[in-house]
Structure 1
Protein backbone atom coordinates (compact mmCIF):
# COMPACT_ATOMS: atom_id res chain seq x y z
CA UNK A 1 0.00 0.00 0.00
CA UNK A 2 3.07 2.18 -0.03
CA UNK A 3 2.91 4.96 -2.52
CA UNK A 4 -0.88 4.80 -2.89
CA UNK A 5 -2.60 8.07 -2.05
CA UNK A 6 -4.77 8.12 1.05
CA UNK A 7 -7.80 9.26 -0.91
CA UNK A 8 -7.56 6.25 -3.22
CA UNK A 9 -7.23 3.89 -0.29
CA UNK A 10 -10.23 5.43 1.39
CA UNK A 11 -12.24 5.27 -1.84
CA UNK A 12 -11.43 1.57 -2.20
CA UNK A 13 -12.75 0.89 1.29
CA UNK A 14 -15.98 2.78 0.47
CA UNK A 15 -16.34 0.81 -2.74
CA UNK A 16 -15.85 -2.47 -0.93
CA UNK A 17 -18.40 -1.43 1.74
CA UNK A 18 -20.99 -0.09 -0.77
CA UNK A 19 -22.38 -3.50 -1.88
CA UNK A 20 -23.99 -4.43 1.47
CA UNK A 21 -25.66 -1.04 1.59
CA UNK A 22 -27.08 -1.45 -1.92
CA UNK A 23 -28.36 -4.92 -1.13
CA UNK A 24 -30.03 -3.68 2.07
CA UNK A 25 -31.71 -0.87 0.17
CA UNK A 26 -32.99 -3.30 -2.48
CA UNK A 27 -34.42 -5.64 0.16
CA UNK A 28 -36.13 -2.74 1.94
CA UNK A 29 -37.67 -1.49 -1.31
CA UNK A 30 -39.04 -4.98 -2.10
CA UNK A 31 -40.55 -5.25 1.38
CA UNK A 32 -42.30 -1.87 1.04
CA UNK A 33 -43.67 -2.80 -2.39
CA UNK A 34 -45.05 -6.09 -1.06
CA UNK A 35 -46.70 -4.32 1.88
CA UNK A 36 -48.40 -1.79 -0.40
CA UNK A 37 -49.68 -4.60 -2.61
CA UNK A 38 -51.21 -6.47 0.34
CA UNK A 39 -52.96 -3.47 1.99
CA UNK A 40 -55.94 -3.24 -0.46
CA UNK A 41 -56.63 -6.96 -0.02
CA UNK A 42 -56.65 -6.95 3.76
CA UNK A 43 -58.30 -3.57 4.37
CA UNK A 44 -61.71 -4.70 3.18
CA UNK A 45 -61.82 -8.27 4.48
CA UNK A 46 -61.96 -9.64 7.99
CA UNK A 47 -61.12 -13.15 9.17
CA UNK A 48 -64.56 -14.52 8.20
CA UNK A 49 -64.75 -12.50 4.98
CA UNK A 50 -68.13 -10.99 5.95
CA UNK A 51 -67.16 -7.41 5.09
CA UNK A 52 -65.53 -8.17 1.79
CA UNK A 53 -66.39 -5.69 -0.94
CA UNK A 54 -67.73 -7.07 -4.21
CA UNK A 55 -67.22 -4.40 -6.92
CA UNK A 56 -69.42 -6.39 -9.33
CA UNK A 57 -72.48 -6.36 -7.03
CA UNK A 58 -75.39 -4.42 -8.50
CA UNK A 59 -77.51 -2.04 -6.40
CA UNK A 60 -80.80 -3.46 -5.12
CA UNK A 61 -83.73 -1.47 -6.52
CA UNK A 62 -86.49 -3.86 -5.41
CA UNK A 63 -87.51 -2.02 -2.21
CA UNK A 64 -90.12 0.70 -2.00
CA UNK A 65 -90.15 2.20 1.48
CA UNK A 66 -93.39 3.22 3.21
CA UNK A 67 -95.91 2.63 0.45
CA UNK A 68 -99.53 3.62 1.15
CA UNK A 69 -102.41 1.17 0.87
CA UNK A 70 -104.11 3.60 -1.49
CA UNK A 71 -101.06 3.45 -3.79
CA UNK A 72 -101.26 -0.34 -3.82
CA UNK A 73 -104.92 -0.11 -4.79
CA UNK A 74 -103.92 1.91 -7.84
CA UNK A 75 -100.70 -0.01 -8.47
CA UNK A 76 -99.40 -0.85 -11.91
CA UNK A 77 -96.90 -3.47 -13.06
CA UNK A 78 -94.02 -1.53 -11.47
CA UNK A 79 -95.17 -2.59 -7.98
CA UNK A 80 -95.53 -6.25 -8.93
CA UNK A 81 -93.14 -8.51 -6.95
CA UNK A 82 -91.68 -5.51 -5.13
CA UNK A 83 -90.97 -5.32 -1.39
CA UNK A 84 -93.24 -2.72 0.18
CA UNK A 85 -94.17 -1.52 3.65
CA UNK A 86 -97.65 -0.33 4.63
CA UNK A 87 -99.50 0.70 7.79
CA UNK A 88 -103.20 0.09 8.30
CA UNK A 89 -106.02 -1.01 10.60
CA UNK A 90 -106.98 -4.68 10.74
CA UNK A 91 -110.64 -5.06 9.76
CA UNK A 92 -112.94 -7.99 9.11
CA UNK A 93 -111.97 -11.48 10.21
CA UNK A 94 -109.00 -13.78 10.55
CA UNK A 95 -109.47 -16.28 7.71
CA UNK A 96 -107.67 -19.60 7.76
CA UNK A 97 -105.77 -20.51 4.59
CA UNK A 98 -105.47 -24.18 3.69
CA UNK A 99 -106.02 -27.26 5.80
CA UNK A 100 -102.73 -27.05 7.70
CA UNK A 101 -103.68 -23.88 9.56
CA UNK A 102 -100.18 -22.46 9.22
CA UNK A 103 -101.27 -19.36 7.31
CA UNK A 104 -103.96 -16.70 7.67
CA UNK A 105 -105.63 -14.01 5.58
CA UNK A 106 -106.30 -10.60 7.12
CA UNK A 107 -107.38 -7.27 5.65
CA UNK A 108 -105.62 -3.96 6.25
CA UNK A 109 -107.57 -0.74 5.74
CA UNK A 110 -106.58 2.92 5.73
CA UNK A 111 -108.58 6.09 5.17
CA UNK A 112 -106.76 8.10 2.52
CA UNK A 113 -108.05 10.80 0.18
CA UNK A 114 -111.47 10.75 1.89
CA UNK A 115 -111.94 7.08 0.99
CA UNK A 116 -111.09 3.74 2.55
CA UNK A 117 -108.48 1.59 0.80
CA UNK A 118 -107.85 -2.06 1.64
CA UNK A 119 -105.30 -4.74 0.85
CA UNK A 120 -105.39 -8.48 1.53
CA UNK A 121 -102.39 -9.71 3.53
CA UNK A 122 -101.15 -13.30 3.60
CA UNK A 123 -99.22 -14.11 6.80
CA UNK A 124 -98.33 -16.94 9.14
CA UNK A 125 -100.47 -17.95 12.08
CA UNK A 126 -97.74 -16.74 14.45
CA UNK A 127 -97.80 -13.29 12.87
CA UNK A 128 -101.61 -13.15 12.99
CA UNK A 129 -101.49 -14.04 16.69
CA UNK A 130 -100.10 -10.55 17.37
CA UNK A 131 -103.47 -9.02 16.44
CA UNK A 132 -105.61 -8.46 19.53
CA UNK A 133 -108.62 -6.73 17.94
CA UNK A 134 -110.31 -6.73 14.54
CA UNK A 135 -112.12 -3.61 13.43
CA UNK A 136 -115.92 -3.63 13.21
CA UNK A 137 -118.86 -1.56 14.46
CA UNK A 138 -117.98 -0.17 17.88
CA UNK A 139 -114.40 -1.47 17.67
CA UNK A 140 -111.17 -0.05 16.25
CA UNK A 141 -108.88 -2.78 15.04
CA UNK A 142 -105.17 -3.05 15.80
CA UNK A 143 -102.88 -0.95 13.61
CA UNK A 144 -100.14 -2.99 11.94
CA UNK A 145 -97.00 -2.19 10.03
CA UNK A 146 -96.45 -4.92 7.43
CA UNK A 147 -93.42 -5.38 5.21
CA UNK A 148 -93.53 -7.96 2.48
CA UNK A 149 -93.79 -8.77 -1.23
CA UNK A 150 -96.67 -7.25 -3.17
CA UNK A 151 -98.26 -9.28 -5.96
CA UNK A 152 -100.43 -7.51 -8.49
CA UNK A 153 -101.53 -10.90 -9.84
CA UNK A 154 -100.42 -13.54 -7.33
CA UNK A 155 -99.45 -16.83 -9.01
CA UNK A 156 -100.00 -18.74 -5.76
CA UNK A 157 -103.52 -17.48 -5.05
CA UNK A 158 -105.37 -17.62 -8.36
CA UNK A 159 -104.36 -14.16 -9.54
CA UNK A 160 -105.45 -12.35 -6.37
CA UNK A 161 -103.86 -8.97 -5.62
CA UNK A 162 -102.23 -9.48 -2.23
CA UNK A 163 -99.30 -8.77 0.06
CA UNK A 164 -97.23 -11.65 1.43
CA UNK A 165 -95.99 -10.51 4.83
CA UNK A 166 -92.38 -10.98 5.92
CA UNK A 167 -92.33 -8.73 8.99
CA UNK A 168 -95.42 -7.81 11.02
CA UNK A 169 -95.27 -5.22 13.81
CA UNK A 170 -98.07 -3.85 16.00
CA UNK A 171 -98.05 -0.06 15.87
CA UNK A 172 -101.14 0.46 18.06
CA UNK A 173 -103.45 -1.93 19.86
CA UNK A 174 -107.16 -2.03 19.08
CA UNK A 175 -109.87 -0.68 21.36
CA UNK A 176 -113.59 -1.05 21.94
CA UNK A 177 -116.02 1.88 21.99
CA UNK A 178 -118.83 1.43 24.52
CA UNK A 179 -122.12 3.10 23.68
CA UNK A 180 -123.07 5.59 26.41
CA UNK A 181 -126.77 6.31 26.92
CA UNK A 182 -127.59 9.99 26.47
CA UNK A 183 -131.17 11.04 27.24
CA UNK A 184 -130.74 14.29 25.30
CA UNK A 185 -130.56 12.31 22.09
CA UNK A 186 -134.16 11.16 22.68
CA UNK A 187 -135.59 14.69 22.94
CA UNK A 188 -135.97 15.36 19.18
CA UNK A 189 -137.72 12.02 18.67
CA UNK A 190 -140.05 12.58 21.62
CA UNK A 191 -141.01 16.02 20.29
CA UNK A 192 -141.82 14.60 16.86
CA UNK A 193 -143.98 11.85 18.42
CA UNK A 194 -145.88 14.42 20.51
CA UNK A 195 -146.51 16.61 17.45
CA UNK A 196 -147.73 13.58 15.51
CA UNK A 197 -150.16 12.59 18.25
CA UNK A 198 -151.45 16.15 18.49
CA UNK A 199 -152.07 16.32 14.74
CA UNK A 200 -153.81 12.94 14.84
CA UNK A 201 -156.09 14.19 17.63
CA UNK A 202 -156.96 17.32 15.65
CA UNK A 203 -157.73 15.22 12.59
CA UNK A 204 -160.15 12.95 14.47
CA UNK A 205 -161.81 15.95 16.14
CA UNK A 206 -162.45 17.69 12.84
CA UNK A 207 -163.78 14.51 11.25
CA UNK A 208 -166.26 13.97 14.09
CA UNK A 209 -167.59 17.50 13.74
CA UNK A 210 -168.30 16.99 10.06
CA UNK A 211 -170.67 14.06 10.71
Structure 2
Protein backbone atom coordinates (compact mmCIF):
# COMPACT_ATOMS: atom_id res chain seq x y z
CA UNK A 1 0.00 0.00 0.00
CA UNK A 2 2.84 2.33 0.89
CA UNK A 3 4.57 1.54 -2.38
CA UNK A 4 1.37 2.35 -4.33
CA UNK A 5 1.15 5.81 -2.69
CA UNK A 6 4.76 6.56 -3.59
CA UNK A 7 4.24 5.45 -7.20
CA UNK A 8 1.05 7.55 -7.54
CA UNK A 9 2.81 10.58 -6.05
CA UNK A 10 5.72 10.23 -8.47
CA UNK A 11 3.34 9.81 -11.44
CA UNK A 12 1.38 12.90 -10.36
CA UNK A 13 4.55 14.99 -10.06
CA UNK A 14 5.81 13.83 -13.46
CA UNK A 15 2.42 14.66 -15.00
CA UNK A 16 2.55 18.16 -13.55
CA UNK A 17 6.07 18.74 -14.83
CA UNK A 18 5.46 17.31 -18.29
CA UNK A 19 1.94 18.75 -18.73
CA UNK A 20 1.75 21.47 -21.39
CA UNK A 21 1.67 25.02 -20.09
CA UNK A 22 -0.86 27.33 -21.76
CA UNK A 23 0.70 29.84 -24.15
CA UNK A 24 -0.96 32.76 -22.37
CA UNK A 25 0.65 31.86 -19.05
CA UNK A 26 3.86 33.74 -19.88
CA UNK A 27 2.14 36.78 -21.42
CA UNK A 28 1.05 39.74 -19.32
CA UNK A 29 -2.69 40.28 -19.21
CA UNK A 30 -4.53 42.95 -21.15
CA UNK A 31 -5.37 45.80 -18.78
CA UNK A 32 -8.61 47.76 -18.58
CA UNK A 33 -9.00 51.52 -18.29
CA UNK A 34 -10.24 51.05 -14.75
CA UNK A 35 -7.15 49.04 -13.77
CA UNK A 36 -4.83 51.63 -15.31
CA UNK A 37 -6.52 54.61 -13.67
CA UNK A 38 -7.05 53.07 -10.23
CA UNK A 39 -3.48 51.75 -10.09
CA UNK A 40 -1.81 54.50 -12.10
CA UNK A 41 1.22 54.75 -9.81
CA UNK A 42 1.88 51.03 -10.24
CA UNK A 43 1.73 51.12 -14.07
CA UNK A 44 3.34 54.54 -14.65
CA UNK A 45 6.27 54.20 -17.07
CA UNK A 46 5.72 50.47 -17.57
CA UNK A 47 4.89 48.60 -20.77
CA UNK A 48 1.23 47.56 -20.83
CA UNK A 49 -1.17 45.71 -23.11
CA UNK A 50 -4.46 47.52 -23.76
CA UNK A 51 -7.29 46.39 -26.02
CA UNK A 52 -10.18 48.61 -27.03
CA UNK A 53 -12.61 49.76 -29.68
CA UNK A 54 -11.65 52.82 -31.72
CA UNK A 55 -14.12 55.56 -30.76
CA UNK A 56 -13.39 58.32 -33.26
CA UNK A 57 -11.32 58.76 -36.34
CA UNK A 58 -7.60 58.75 -35.59
CA UNK A 59 -6.25 62.31 -35.31
CA UNK A 60 -3.06 62.65 -37.34
CA UNK A 61 -0.55 65.22 -36.02
CA UNK A 62 2.99 66.18 -37.05
CA UNK A 63 4.67 63.89 -34.53
CA UNK A 64 2.18 61.00 -34.59
CA UNK A 65 -1.45 59.91 -34.39
CA UNK A 66 -3.94 60.05 -31.52
CA UNK A 67 -6.69 57.48 -30.97
CA UNK A 68 -9.32 57.14 -28.26
CA UNK A 69 -10.06 53.56 -27.27
CA UNK A 70 -12.84 52.18 -25.10
CA UNK A 71 -12.83 48.74 -23.55
CA UNK A 72 -16.54 48.72 -22.78
CA UNK A 73 -16.77 50.38 -19.38
CA UNK A 74 -17.90 53.84 -20.54
CA UNK A 75 -14.42 55.30 -20.28
CA UNK A 76 -11.79 56.00 -22.90
CA UNK A 77 -8.00 55.92 -22.93
CA UNK A 78 -5.95 58.18 -25.14
CA UNK A 79 -3.31 56.36 -27.18
CA UNK A 80 -0.50 58.19 -28.94
CA UNK A 81 1.13 56.37 -31.87
CA UNK A 82 4.47 58.01 -32.78
CA UNK A 83 5.34 58.38 -36.48
CA UNK A 84 8.01 55.67 -36.28
CA UNK A 85 5.45 53.02 -35.18
CA UNK A 86 3.53 51.24 -37.95
CA UNK A 87 -0.10 52.33 -37.85
CA UNK A 88 -2.61 49.86 -39.33
CA UNK A 89 -5.53 51.09 -41.40
CA UNK A 90 -8.50 51.82 -39.14
CA UNK A 91 -11.49 51.02 -41.35
CA UNK A 92 -14.33 51.44 -38.83
CA UNK A 93 -14.80 53.82 -35.91
CA UNK A 94 -17.58 53.51 -33.35
CA UNK A 95 -20.78 55.48 -33.88
CA UNK A 96 -24.54 54.89 -33.82
CA UNK A 97 -24.53 52.56 -36.82
CA UNK A 98 -20.98 51.16 -36.65
CA UNK A 99 -18.95 48.92 -34.35
CA UNK A 100 -15.38 50.22 -34.39
CA UNK A 101 -12.24 48.19 -35.06
CA UNK A 102 -10.85 46.58 -31.91
CA UNK A 103 -7.10 47.13 -31.61
CA UNK A 104 -4.46 45.71 -29.28
CA UNK A 105 -1.92 48.26 -28.10
CA UNK A 106 1.46 47.44 -26.64
CA UNK A 107 2.83 50.63 -25.18
CA UNK A 108 4.19 52.63 -22.29
CA UNK A 109 1.57 53.98 -19.86
CA UNK A 110 2.03 57.55 -18.63
CA UNK A 111 0.05 58.66 -15.59
CA UNK A 112 1.07 62.29 -16.24
CA UNK A 113 2.63 62.62 -19.68
CA UNK A 114 5.18 65.44 -19.83
CA UNK A 115 5.13 65.42 -23.63
CA UNK A 116 1.33 65.90 -23.78
CA UNK A 117 0.58 68.57 -21.15
CA UNK A 118 0.01 66.16 -18.27
CA UNK A 119 -2.54 63.92 -19.99
CA UNK A 120 -2.88 60.29 -18.95
CA UNK A 121 -2.05 58.27 -22.05
CA UNK A 122 -0.33 55.28 -23.59
CA UNK A 123 2.54 55.76 -26.06
CA UNK A 124 2.17 52.86 -28.47
CA UNK A 125 5.08 50.61 -29.37
CA UNK A 126 2.90 48.28 -31.45
CA UNK A 127 -0.66 48.55 -32.81
CA UNK A 128 -2.57 45.52 -34.13
CA UNK A 129 -6.15 45.31 -35.37
CA UNK A 130 -7.59 42.31 -33.50
CA UNK A 131 -11.19 42.44 -34.72
CA UNK A 132 -12.32 44.50 -37.71
CA UNK A 133 -15.38 46.65 -37.13
CA UNK A 134 -18.73 46.23 -38.82
CA UNK A 135 -22.00 48.02 -39.36
CA UNK A 136 -24.90 47.37 -37.04
CA UNK A 137 -28.59 47.73 -37.48
CA UNK A 138 -30.56 50.04 -35.23
CA UNK A 139 -34.09 49.62 -36.56
CA UNK A 140 -36.88 51.98 -35.52
CA UNK A 141 -39.06 50.10 -33.06
CA UNK A 142 -42.74 50.81 -33.61
CA UNK A 143 -43.68 50.22 -29.96
CA UNK A 144 -41.30 52.98 -28.86
CA UNK A 145 -42.71 55.38 -31.45
CA UNK A 146 -46.26 54.70 -30.20
CA UNK A 147 -45.21 55.26 -26.57
CA UNK A 148 -43.48 58.50 -27.55
CA UNK A 149 -46.59 59.81 -29.31
CA UNK A 150 -48.88 58.86 -26.40
CA UNK A 151 -46.61 60.45 -23.78
CA UNK A 152 -46.04 63.57 -25.91
CA UNK A 153 -49.82 63.92 -26.31
CA UNK A 154 -50.38 63.56 -22.56
CA UNK A 155 -47.65 66.11 -21.84
CA UNK A 156 -49.18 68.52 -24.35
CA UNK A 157 -52.62 68.11 -22.74
CA UNK A 158 -51.17 68.68 -19.25
CA UNK A 159 -49.38 71.82 -20.40
CA UNK A 160 -52.50 73.15 -22.12
CA UNK A 161 -54.59 72.59 -18.97
CA UNK A 162 -51.95 74.22 -16.76
CA UNK A 163 -51.27 77.30 -18.88
CA UNK A 164 -54.72 78.07 -20.31
CA UNK A 165 -56.28 81.26 -19.11
CA UNK A 166 -59.60 80.93 -17.40
CA UNK A 167 -62.41 82.79 -19.12
CA UNK A 168 -63.34 86.12 -17.55
CA UNK A 169 -66.83 86.40 -16.28
CA UNK A 170 -68.66 89.59 -16.99
CA UNK A 171 -71.17 90.49 -14.35
CA UNK A 172 -74.25 92.54 -15.26
Q: TM-score, normalised by structure 1?
A: 0.53
Correspondence for 1:136 among 95, 113, 126: 95
**What is the rounded CA distance, in whole Å, between the counterparts of 2:145 and 2:120 in structure 1?**
46
Correspondence for 1:166 among 125, 133, 142: 125
Correspondence for 2:64 among 99, 103, 106: 103
Deviation string 1:46-68 (CA, Å, 9 cap, x unpaired) is: xxxxxxxxxxxxxxxxx954222
What are structure 2's unaligned runs of at least 5 residues? Answer: 1-26, 159-165
CA pair 168-186 structure 1, distance change in 2 beyond 3 A:
same
Q: Is the 1:73–1:117 contact (alpha carbons within 8 Å) kept by the matching residues of 2? A: no
Q: TM-score, normalised by structure 2?
A: 0.63
Greater relative contact order (Cα < 8 A, sep 6+): 2
Matched, 1:119 2:77: yes
Q: Is the 1:123–1:165 contact (alpha carbons within 8 Å) kept by the matching residues of 2? A: yes
CA pair 64-191 structure 1, distance change in 2 beyond 3 A:
closer
Shift of 1:77: 2.2
CA pair 127-196 structure 1, distance change in 2 beyond 3 A:
same
Shift of 1:93: 3.0
> What CA RMSD, in Å, does the superposition of the two structures yield over aligned residues?
3.3
Secondary structure at 1:186 match in 2: helix
Shift of 1:183: 3.5
What are structure 1's unaligned runs of at least 5 residues? Answer: 1-62, 200-206
Matched, 1:155 2:106: no
Question: What is aligned with 2:40?
Answer: 76
Shift of 1:79: 1.1
Which is higher, the Rg of structure 1 or of structure 2? 1
**Aligned length, in residue pairs:** 138
